[in-house]
Amino acid sequence: AVAFETLTSAVVDKDGNEVSEETKIAEHKDLNDADQTVTSKKVEPKNPVIKTKASLDGDQVKAGAKVVDTVSYEDLIPGKEYTLSAQLINKADESVVGEGSAKFTPEQASGSTKVEIVVNDSVKGVVESAVAFETLTSAVVDKDGNEVSEETKI
């Protein structure tokens, strides 16, 4: 964008003679003048990434057991609130055997946080193998840091 300036006076003209109406004294309108030009900074798109490492608190995945999922994240907007929603999935039948969530506000774009997943009381016996799935959402910003009015999946 280029700023144009016009100097006017309702008292004198460009030669200093008194006038009774507003008169143009000078103007500066040059589309190619670098000193009049302002340029918006290019905003690089964000590419949020999460990675997880689950650890079992105990020896067996069974009702009431706790899994701590350490989630590392990259390219988030510092100072904005996010929610991690976790599901623990039984690998044998792909059923959800536990859930957990955690809200956090990162101080830096990259870091880590923990989500505790509790195995459902309805789980009968021991689950041989399970995997944690995480979904990152925000009710404040989208993946590029733009403010939103409803929760958005990142």
Residues 31, 88: one domain?
no
Residues 135, 66: one domain?
yes
Domain membership flag for residue 149? yes
Strands of 15-110, DSSP E:
23-28, 49-57, 61-62, 66-74, 82-90, 96-104
Residues 75, 99: one domain?
yes
Residues 71, 31: one domain?
no
Domain membership flag for residue 123? yes
Domain membership flag for residue 118? yes
Q: What percent of the chain has pLDDT over 90?
A: 56
Question: What are the tens digits of pLDDT across the range 108-121?
Answer: 999 999 999 999 99
Residues 143, 69: one domain?
yes
Residue 77 is which amino acid? I
Domain membership flag for residue 139? yes
pLDDT class of 149 with cuts at 50, 70, 90: low
- Structural domain range at position 95: 49-153
Give backbone dihedrals phi and psi of 36, rounded to 5 degrees, phi first.
-100, -5
Residues 94, 24: one domain?
no
The total domain count for the chain is 2
Question: What are the tens digits of pLDDT across the range 29-62?
Answer: 989 988 888 888 877 778 899 999 999 999 999 9
* Separation in Å, CA 22 to CA 5, 17, 60, 153: 16, 12, 87, 57
Report the predicted TM-score, pTM, of the whole model to 2 decimal places.
0.69
Rounded mean pLDDT of the chain? 90
Domain membership flag for residue 43? no
